[in-house]
Structure formats: structure tokens, C-alpha cells
Chain A
Amino acid sequence: MLKHFIGLQWKSFFRSATFKTEIWFKILMALGALYFIAMFLGMGVGAYFIIEEMGIGDPLRVINRFMIYYLAFDLVFRYMLQKMPVTNIKPLLYLPISKSKVVHFSLGKTAISFFNVAHAFFFVPFSIVLIAQGYPALQVVGWHLAMMALLYCNNFINVMVNNQNVVFYVLAALFILAGASQYYQWFDITFYTQPIFDFFYDMSWTAIIPWVILAGLYYGAFAYFKKHMYLDGGLAKKHTEAKTENLEWLDRFGNLGTFLKNDIKLIKRNKRSRSAVIAGFFFIFYGLLFFTNAIEVYDGPFWKIFAGIFVTGGFLFSFGQYVPSWDSSYYPLMMSQNIKYREYLSSKWYLVIIATVISTFLATFYLYFGWEAYAAVLVGAIYNIGINSYLVLWGGAYVKTPIELTSNKKAFGDKQAFNAKTLLLTLPKLVLPIIIYAIGHFLINPIAGYIFVAVFGILGFAFKNRVFTMIEGIYKKEKYKTLQAYKQK
């Protein structure tokens, strides 16, 4: 039986459409994974010596002290990123397999997820170092096993609280409060939690306690899932109550308004697009890294332009980049309806422009860092409007991965952005303005640099019609390929 399950899993992984990506993207992903593994390994081996060097006490006790935060962060990461095991259960429901087996398998599957395995790269070397340093092996093993059990407890806690936003936010708020009060030395939660973790080391037989808890949690998760394994229960999709919105104030823009109305609804009503917009919003604060001199590398003059582009271009990069994939699920409709490509593109363009202008207003707080900082933001905005807004639309013609609007899956590290052509197009988006600025900066003075970049943006703006004709041509040429690609979910 297990053989069948594993076989299914194997096929679903290797035959998924997303798996068949460009080879060098796979390499990039592998490198990313290796990087994380190396980080964990490095920490595992190095943590002991670093803490010893700092002289803040027995390394194991220090680790134990902060273990509560480690576990809390782990839980937060899991909540945000770890996928739930309920997917793909449906086709198994009516087959002659007992429900218990299906649930056991689904839960067991989560045990080997990256989120659990990654920790081993820290704890195993750390424990080995401890033993090598003369800590009693039996006690270290007890502690180690206890930690493993606790991390697996997190795994099943996450499985159970998933989709219960309230529980999550309450927990998150509690931990933020704890962290803040520790920082301001009002109240030190670690003072109370450290002894618990020390206990697992001092009396290693107590390591059995987390394992008992783990067994309890596993059983809880098992019972929960088994009970809810019905199409109208745990497997049901959640429906939100829909409200018809007219947004009549947009009617005055004619056909453009029709599309804008749709785009606003698109953003409001879909998880994926909402996340993109929220991510875009946070770009506004990206400039703080540059203008507060928080990071020394970013001190150079060109970085200010770089910051300006990002501060005002958050929406442009997070949403604009994926035009027209936002409409992928109904692209055939758009293509057979009475729509002119130019109007469709214009509406997306206006959306990007409006968002850029709003970001520019929101970013006025950069005036606090001097007029030069805000000048960089303004210049960045002009460049975004005049040049980058076209470039994202242009790049979009080559982005051919459908977006699933209702899920946040793949929202992180989406391979769409790593299409060779779109990657090439990021050069003029980011590098060109820096070069233009540098020319002005070195030939005349910093202000000339700003003016040069702004002039480029304004020139781009002036050629709007010509550029649009060109982009329209590209979209038309790519139409059939795009339609074909969007069909493959």
C-alpha cells in the first residue's frame, strides 16, 4: 500500500508542469537549497565556538535560553510556507483504502518535508560538537532527541492550526510581545523557558516527555483529519460571500474604465494578487536601508537612484511584472471578446502609473532624510513611469506561466521572473538608470545626474504611442503561444 502512495507522490512531483522548467533554473534552485543547508551546517558546527568566543556562558545553556524563539520562528515560517497535506486526498477517498491509512500517509508525508529536515543540519553537527567537547554523550543525545521531538511537535501544531488565522495571529502577537519586552528588559520570557530546555539535558530521561506530547499531537492531528475527511468538511473549499460592486466612478474613463474596474476586483478578491500588492507596498520602506546608512555597502551615490526606483516601483515590480498572467485563467475570453489589445494594455499601464504616483506620495516621509533623498525617490518615480512601465509590459509578453489566482502557491520564488528574456529586461529597469546617473554625477554634479535620469523618463513618456504600438505588435505575435501555455495548469 505504502508503495502505491509513494509511487503516486513521486509521479506527482516529477510530472508536475512546474517541474519541467528551464534547466538552469533548477540549478539555481539547487544552489539556493545548498546555500541554506550550508548556512545551517555552518551554524551547527560554528555556534558552539562563536558563543564560547563571545563569553556569554555555556554554549548549550545559551542555545537553550533562546530556544523558545527558535521554535517560535520555526512555527511562523511553517505557517506561512509549509503546504498542508490535504491536497490530493480527494481521488483516494472512494478507493478501497482505509481512511486511516490515507491520513497516516498524508501526515507522515509532512514529517519528511524540508521544514523538518533542515533543522537536522543544525542540530546534528551541534550535538556532535558538544560530545567532541566533552559533554556527556548520553545527556546530549537526550537533549537532541527532545529538540527533534519539539520541532516535530511544531510540525503537527502547524497542521492543526492551519487556516485558523486567529490562532496564528494570537500566537504571533504573544511572541512579538515577548521579544519586545525582552529587548526593553521589562520581562524576560527566556528566564522561565530556559530551565525547561536545560532539564532535557540535565536529566536526559525527561526527553521522553516531548515525545509523549508529540505522540499526542500526532494522534490529535490524525483524529482531526479523519473526522473531517469529507468533501463538505475539511476538504471543502472555503467560500466567501460575494458582493456585487459597481465602481461606477470609473465609468467616465470609457473602455479603459471597464478594464480598470475588473483589475481592481482582481486585486481585491484574489489571494495571490493581494499578496503581490501588499509586497509592493512594503517596497516603499526599502529605501530606509539606503538613506539611514544602515548598510554600509549601500552608501554609494548610485544606490540612491536604485532605492528611488524600488521605493516607487513596488507595485510595478510585484504586479506589473506578471501582466498578462493575472488574466491567464480567462485569457481565451479576452482574446475572443471585442477588445483591442491597446486598450487592454493601457488599462494595465494606467494601473501601474496610478500605483507609482500613490507610492511617490506615500514616500514623502523620505523628506526627513533631506531633500536629496526625496529627489531620488521623485526621479525614480519619473523613470518608473516613463521607462519601466513599458518594460514590464514588454517583458510580460514573454511571461507565459499561468497564475492560479486563489492560492499563494509558488508566490515565493516563482520561476516566471527567471525567464531569460524577462531577466534581460531587468537590466534596463535597474542598471540603466544607475549608469545614466553616474554619467551626470561624474561629468557635472549629483544634481545633473538626477536631471539626466528624469529627462530619460520624460522622453520615454513622450513616446508613449510609438512604444505602445511596438508592444502591441509583440503581444499579437505571442498571442497563440501564450494561449497555448495558459492552458497547461
Chain B
Amino acid sequence: MITVHNLTKTYGDKTVLNIDHLEIPKGQSFGLVGNNGAGKTTLFSLLLDLIQPSSGHIINNEVQVDQSEAWKPFTSAFIDESFLIGYLTPEEYFYFIGELRGRNKADVDALLANFDDFFHGEILNQKKYLRDLSKGNQKKVGIVASFIGNPEVVILDEPFANLDPTTQIRLKGIIKDLAAKEGVTVLVSSHDLIHVTEVCQRIVVLNKGEIVKDLLTSAETMKELEAFFAG
């Protein structure tokens, strides 16, 4: 589904990302871990064409991301709060994203009905604008919005951070289901090793912009990761 070729990103003489080759097959739940500054968000921004690669390129479902915009209809993401429109209510925001992705109000409502649990009664009909919601609730809105319109690729940067334990557990279930049942390629980054090992079929460790580990999740993965990060 996604292929990375000789991708580098440099700022001045500092290389923040350098990936020779990375292939993510369709329907895989893919976890990206690494310390701060490892290049996780840089990679995701490159995937979304928000920054330009210094060399190399990314192919997303046969579309070269920095050349064509044809990847947009089947790719969705939630990176940070700059993906939210602060002056809309959550409902308006969902409908707006829905309209951009060719889904009418009824479609969006049907999708939202599945997330009643996840929202925990704190999102819909709250008479609040997104900018007035708590950070955790904002995140819930952003994550659910990225599921609108049956995307084939979903990119979530640090989805577990800021969420309460109940929501974290629910989100893990949702992500697993997306990959397993609907064949969606889910890319998740996290600082929490337990969460990624639970959710992802494959885990890639970035360190200073380079891939240092590429593991298919198994019983030993957690130990291996801990050993690596303990240094």
C-alpha cells in the first residue's frame, strides 16, 4: 500500500529522517515508536505532503505523494489540533469532513452511532465549540473524524496521549478492528510501548531519523523494545 524510497529530510546540515526503504502492505496495523526527535511526525508529515522530502519519495497506493494529490480521497489523518476547526461544534466538524469525503449527514450520523461508547457522552450535543473542549475530547473528535468516508489509509500521531484509560482501551479495540475487519492500513505512532505492541502487527523503531528495528509483533517484542529503549 505504502512504499518509501530513499527518503531523506534535512534541515540545514541536520538530517532528521533517512529511510532507504520501507514497505507497508495493505491492511497492516503499523506502529512507529521512537524517542523525541526520532522523526515520527516528520515521516507522517511527509506522508501527507505537508513538508517536502529533501530526496526520495513516498508512493501511496501507486500515487507519488509529492507529485499528485490523488492520494487524498483514500487517506485520512489526525496529527494534532491543527487538524481541528476550533470554531465549529463537533457535529459541524464531522459533517464538514463528511461533505469533503462525499458522505451526507445520514452517513456521518450512522458512523458516529458506532462511537457512542468512545465519546462517553462528552462530545455530541454539548453546546461547545471544539476550541472549548478539553484536550482529550478534542483528540477523540479528531480521531473519529479520520474514520469518516471509509479511508484505506489512516494515520494517527500519538493517538493514545491525553486520553483517559477507558478511552485508550476502546481506541485499541477500534484500531485493531479497522485493520483486521476492514482491511484499512493504520499507521500509529506512540511513546507507549505497551499500547503499540498490543495494537500493531508490526512495529518499526526510529532513532535519529533511521530505522533501527523492524519487528513483527510477537510475545518477545515487548522485551526487545524495552531492551532497546533502556539503552
- A interface residues, Cβ below 8 angstroms from B: 237, 239-245, 255, 258, 261-262, 265-266, 269-270, 329-333, 335-340, 405-406, 480, 483-484, 486-487
Per the 8 Å Cβ criterion, residues 54-90 of B in contact with A are 69, 72-73, 75-77, 79-80, 82-89
23 contacts between A and B (CB under 8 A): A239-B128, A240-B129, A242-B89, A243-B89, A244-B89, A244-B91, A245-B92, A255-B99, A255-B100, A258-B96, A258-B99, A329-B86, A330-B82, A332-B50, A335-B48, A335-B50, A336-B49, A336-B76, A337-B100, A338-B102, A338-B149, A480-B51, A484-B51
CA distance A130 to B99 in the complex (A): 71
B77 touches A336 (CB 8 A): yes
CB contact under 8 A between A332 and B79, given known A258-B99, A258-B100, A265-B88: yes
- B interface residues, Cβ below 8 angstroms from A: 48-52, 69, 72-73, 75-77, 79-80, 82-89, 91-92, 96-97, 99-102, 126-129, 131-132, 149
CA distance A484 to B45 in the complex (A): 11
CB contact under 8 A between A333 and B83, given known A242-B89, A258-B96, A480-B51: yes
| Binding site secondary structure of chain A | helix
| Binding site secondary structure of chain B | loop
Residue numbers in B under 8 Å from A338 (CB-CB):
72-73, 100-102, 149
CA distance A43 to B145 in the complex (A): 60
Chain B proximity of A236: nearest CB distance (Å)? 11
Chain B proximity of A391: nearest CB distance (Å)? 26
Partner of A262, one of B83, B85, B89, B132: B85
CA distance A335 to B100 in the complex (A): 12
A330 touches B84 (CB 8 A): yes
A269 touches B129 (CB 8 A): yes
CA distance A453 to B190 in the complex (A): 60
Chain B proximity of A201: nearest CB distance (Å)? 53
B87 touches A270 (CB 8 A): yes
CA distance A335 to B83 in the complex (A): 10
Residue numbers in B under 8 Å from A266 (CB-CB):
87
For the complex of A and B, 4 pairs with smallest distance between CB atoms: A269-B87, A336-B48, A333-B83, A258-B99
B97 touches A329 (CB 8 A): no
Closest to B72 in A: A338
B131 touches A406 (CB 8 A): yes
B85 touches A330 (CB 8 A): yes
A480 touches B100 (CB 8 A): no
Chain A proximity of B168: nearest CB distance (Å)? 24
A405 touches B87 (CB 8 A): yes
Partner of A331, one of B72, B73, B82, B86: B82
CA distance A258 to B82 in the complex (A): 19
